[in-house]
Amino acid sequence: MDWNPGLYEQFRRHRERPARDLLGSISIEGPQLIYDLGCGTGRITRELAKRYPNAQVVGLDVSSAMLTRDSSDDPANLRFDLGDIAEWRPSVAPDLIFSNAALHWLPDHEVLFPRLVGNLSRGGHFHVQMPRNFSEPDHRVIEQIVHDDRWDGRLSSIWSEERVGSPEFYLDLLGPISAQLDVWETVYCQRLEGPNPVARWIEGAALRPYLPALGQDRDEFMKAVEEQILAAYPPGPDGTTLYPFRRLFVCGVART
């Protein structure tokens, strides 16, 4: 199932805050080639292109829907490619790899991350941010419902355990191949507006892999999700809903 950009960007301000914090962590000077892996709608990619006008900036995403946009105001140094990060092999080594909220969709980080860092030019920088909230109530609700017998096993085979490791995992994994490495976590205490907003949030992202398999049972599935999510994340006295969200940042400089 392709992404729904309108649904995903319903909470754009909250979704972009970690991306802008990731942008703020970049200190490279004079890069010639930059890749934004899993660029989505390309909003942050455009900011990279404007920040580094002398660099070629390439946004890569597997979703044709996300890449469908008005390109009339794109900077001249920017292009977007349709492609899968898992199969990405650049013909020219980039000086900067940027990836916001994308790599958690891919498995085998013990192989993936060293490969990505190995694709960099000597002394190239990498700046990655991933959700790490998989032990929170919303994901526990998803886990319980997708394994429910009502769906005749259609969803349990799609379920995957947390793919994002601990901060220590990435420090140990990338330390030997990094000249510099910083890993940290931030919990964003988000207040969302609207009726049952956490259900809308996960419908635009975490639930996306399951919906195509449901067919005419989609409405029943969403009703079950919405009921349990609302119980887990009730609105506060002011009508907004608190939705804490943990993000992991992995940033560094390649040794080779």
What backbone phi and psi angles, to 5 degrees, belong to 36? -105, 105
Q: What is the 3-state secondary structure (H, E, C) of 120-183?
A: CCCCCEEEEEEECCCCCHHHHHHHHHHCCHHHCCCCCCCCCCCCCCCHHHHHHHHHHHEEEEEE
- In the chain, domain spans: 5-254
pLDDT tens per residue, the chain (256 residues)?
566 777 777 899 999 999 999 999 999 999 999 999 999 999 999 999 999 999 999 999 999 988 886 677 889 999 999 999 999 999 999 999 999 999 999 999 999 999 999 999 999 999 999 999 999 999 999 999 999 988 878 898 888 777 899 999 999 999 999 999 999 999 999 999 999 999 999 999 899 889 888 989 999 999 999 999 999 999 999 999 999 999 999 999 999 6
pTM of the model: 0.93
**Buried (b) or exposed (e) across 76-98, using 16+ Cβ within 10 A?**
ebbebeeeebeebeeeeebbbbb
CATH code 3.40.50.150 for 5-254: yes
The helix (run of H) or strand (run of E) holding residue 214 is none
Within 8 A by CB and 6+ apart from 185, the residues are: 132, 167, 246, 247, 248, 249
